[in-house]
Amino acid sequence: FNSQGYHDKEFFIADQNDLVVALLADSFGMGVVPYDFNFTTVAEKTLKKTLSDKFNRVAIHNFGIPCIGMQEYAHLLTTEVLQWRP
């Protein structure tokens, strides 16, 4: 878990030459598998391999929280996600 409490590495604020995707998800995003096998981690590794020549940094910031729905996603987006400039 990172310092924000999410099941991911530390987030960073995206610069102009970075590709950062924010994943807002419920327990499927958080995952019940080890971190290296989570679909977001696997997707991030694949994106890094294929796009590393086009971007300085590539990341999927995983904002997965179990048992949340659309209202919580909207709140999460405005209060936490957008500050990272995905």
- pLDDT tens digits for range 21-67: 999 999 988 878 899 999 999 999 999 999 999 999 999 999 999 99
Residue 31: the pLDDT is: 79
Q: Which residue type, as a one-letter code, is found at position 16?
A: Q
Residue 30: the pLDDT is: 85
Q: Residue 22 belongs to what H/E stretch?
A: strand 18-25
Whole-model pTM?
0.93
- pLDDT tens digits for range 75-85: 999 999 999 99
Structure tokens at 61: 């910031």
Average pLDDT, integer, range 63-75:
96
Q: For residues 57 and 9, what is the distance between their CA atoms, to the nearest angstrom?
A: 14
Q: Is 50 helix (H, G, I), strand (E, B) or coil?
A: helix
Residue 38: the pLDDT is: 93
